[in-house]
Amino acid sequence: MSPEVNLETIVSLCKRRGFVFQSSEIYGGLAGFYDYGPLGVELVNNIKQEWWKAMVREHDNIFGVDSAIIQNPRLWEASGHIAGFTDPLVEDEVTHKRYRADHLAGVDSNDVEQLMKLLEGKKSPDGNPLGPVRTFNMMMKTYVGPVEDSESVAYLRPETAGPIFTNYENVRETMRAKLPFGVAQIGKAFRNEISPRDFIFRVRELEQMEMQYFINPNDQEKNYQNWRDFAWQFCIERLGISKENLEWHEHDASERAHYAAAAHDIYFKFPQGFKELWGTHNRTDFDLSNHQRVSGKELTYFDEEKRERFMPFVIESSVGVGRLLMAVIVNSYYEEEINGEKRVVLKIKPSLAPYRLAVSPLLKNKPELVNKAREVYGTLKKVFGNVMWDDNGNIGKRYRRQDEIGTPYCITVDFDTLEDETVTIRDRDSTEQTRIKIDELETRLKALLLI
């Protein structure tokens, strides 16, 4: 990526080219909520499909589920979310604006007493006195049924992992699965963040891709390393992210959840610095043990070969779709000079690009060129699917537009095409152009796109 890329540049590109829009923008938007535009939804779907292929379809022992967003509240009681899914909050006593206490104190801590001491005598960002530090539960509350009372309280799920644990036994039985095996899910989660920020990095509605891998406790170290390796290789090989934009961060004892035996995050170099992208965590037997205790259902596993019964440990692999989208765009963003002119180009891996190909007639006011280009476009669209028709502006402007949205190859029909049945293929990254016979186009493009 270009070293000068900043967050404002990425936000502008995403809005201008139809990747990400502010949700309900015509009404002033709503903090922490975003909509994916035509190009954004294509890129998101390609990322999700790549993850699902690598995680589920290429493994014999990992199975997918799609669980409900609203679950029985006892699930969140057992998982500890009702009691412990909190952030420290402090209020400006004049404006009544609320802020994360740990952010104002400049520490990574949820300890109320520690934060009170650190904030003693400090002012709010508006220069006003601060109230006491209080904890704030980030789960979004709703009601199920016709009466809004304490008996009908429910929550939008704050993570997708919870329903995976409650479906553990269902998956094991129906798929006749033996340890080790995993359960994967892609789905929405909701967190009432106090201060959503940094574009789609920290939001209130997010989409997660998670896999919980159930194992014999004796095999935890080996499996933990395997899933760390999987996450790292996926980012580099499947998403095309540069190694220099990635680094590992190991959670120390103060950062880890109390039940976690180990936790590592892959950090990506976002415009705001290296921040969390993908987490791999050893959750031990915390989840299944708690769900067994609260539900009363037997969730231990009997190993027939070793003739032993135990509660499985869980290795978690978890990543946010929005953060991956942002990482892919930031990683692929370049500003270059071509023939004395500046161009912006997204060098997205072709398998992820919103459009793999764009087809254009050299001139839009020449029916013979338009008709031939439409013929080529129709043929390629049947084969490759995500192909764009582009006849807006001169050919140079079209190339620049396709560069900016990451289209790997542009196909141009010109007057020579009418004479010899050849077209021009332009490469996004090198800008080189080659001519090829139309009847060889499909084979050549499949080779270029590695299909």
Phi, psi of 276 (to 5 degrees): -60, 135
Best CA proximity match to 288, nearest among 308, 263, 259, 311 = 311
Q: Which residues contact 435 (CB under 8 A, 6 or more apart)?
A: 416, 422, 423, 424, 425
Element containing residue 189 per DSSP (H, E): strand 181-190
Per the domain annotation, does 93 fall within a domain?
no
Least confident of 39-48, 77-86, 146-155, 302-311: 77-86
313-320 β-sheet, strand order: 62-64, 181-190, 205-215, 313-320, 273-284, 262-270, 246-250
Confidence of residue 109 (pLDDT cuts 50, 70, 90): confident
pLDDT at 308: 95
3-state per-residue secondary structure call for 128-169: CEECCCEEEECCEEEECCCCCCHHHEEEECCCCHHHHHHCHH
Mean pLDDT within 400-423 = 96
pLDDT at 271: 95
Per the domain annotation, does 344 fall within a domain?
no
Range of the domain at 369: 355-448
Q: Which residues contact 441 (CB under 8 A, 6 or more apart)?
A: 376, 379, 380, 411, 423, 425
Per the domain annotation, does 375 fall within a domain?
yes
Tens digits of residue pLDDT in 149-191? 888 999 999 999 999 999 999 999 999 999 999 999 999 999 9
Long-range contacts of 444-450 (CB under 8 A, 24+ apart): 445/357, 445/380, 445/384, 445/409, 448/350, 448/408, 448/409, 449/350, 449/351, 449/356, 449/384, 449/408, 449/409, 450/350, 450/351
- In this model, does residue 85 exceed pLDDT 80? no
Tens digits of residue pLDDT in 125-137? 888 999 888 877 7
Best CA proximity match to 209, nearest among 278, 136, 123 = 278
Mean pLDDT within 97-110 = 81
- In this model, does residue 104 exceed pLDDT 70? yes
Choose the final residue of a domain: 329, 364, 389. 329
- In this model, does residue 445 exceed pLDDT 90? yes
pLDDT at 117: 87
Choose the final residue of a domain: 295, 329, 363. 329
Q: Same domain, yes or no, for 182 and 235?
A: yes
Per the domain annotation, does 437 fall within a domain?
yes
pLDDT at 195: 80
Q: Same domain, yes or no, for 310 and 166?
A: yes
Q: Same domain, yes or no, for 362 and 409?
A: yes
Mean pLDDT within 72-79 = 88
Best CA proximity match to 358, nearest among 327, 392, 324, 331 = 392
Least confident of 113-122, 340-349, 420-429: 113-122
Confidence of residue 2 (pLDDT cuts 50, 70, 90): low
Per the domain annotation, does 245 fall within a domain?
yes
Long-range contacts of 394-403 (CB under 8 A, 24+ apart): 395/360, 395/362, 398/358, 398/360, 399/426, 399/431, 400/343, 400/344, 402/355, 402/358, 402/428, 403/343, 403/344, 403/345, 403/346, 403/428
Higher pLDDT, 409 or 108: 409
Best CA proximity match to 130, nearest among 159, 177, 97 = 97
Tens digits of residue pLDDT in 26-35? 999 999 999 9
Mean pLDDT within 58-70 = 97
- In this model, does residue 353 exceed pLDDT 90? yes
pLDDT at 84: 66
Q: Which residues contact 103 (CB under 8 A, 6 or more apart)?
A: 195
Q: Same domain, yes or no, for 192 and 321?
A: yes
Mean pLDDT within 358-362 = 96
Q: Which residue has the tokens 């987490």?
A: 279
CA distance 251 to 282: 11
Q: Same domain, yes or no, for 289 and 419?
A: no
From residue 227, give the alpha-carbon distance in Å to each of 54, 64, 234: 12, 17, 10
pLDDT at 357: 97
- In this model, does residue 120 exceed pLDDT 80? yes
On average, the pLDDT of the chain sits at 93
Q: Same domain, yes or no, for 308 and 176?
A: yes
pLDDT at 134: 82
Q: Same domain, yes or no, for 430 and 311?
A: no
Half-sphere exposure of 261 (CA within 13 A, CB side): 15
pLDDT at 98: 80
Number of domains in the chain: 2
- In this model, does residue 112 exceed pLDDT 90? no
pLDDT at 42: 97
CATH number of the structural domain spanning residue 419: 3.40.50.800
Per the domain annotation, does 123 fall within a domain?
no
Per the domain annotation, does 185 fall within a domain?
yes
Q: Same domain, yes or no, for 179 and 242?
A: yes
CATH number of the structural domain spanning residue 219: 3.30.930.10
Is residue 385 within 8 Å of 355, Cβ to Cβ? no
CA distance 294 to 298: 11
Q: Same domain, yes or no, for 362 and 325?
A: no
Q: Same domain, yes or no, for 376 and 287?
A: no
Q: Copy the structure tokens of residue 45.
A: 């779907």
Confidence of residue 81 (pLDDT cuts 50, 70, 90): confident
Q: Same domain, yes or no, for 254 and 380?
A: no
CA distance 240 to 201: 20
Q: Same domain, yes or no, for 264 and 169?
A: yes
Per the domain annotation, does 85 fall within a domain?
no
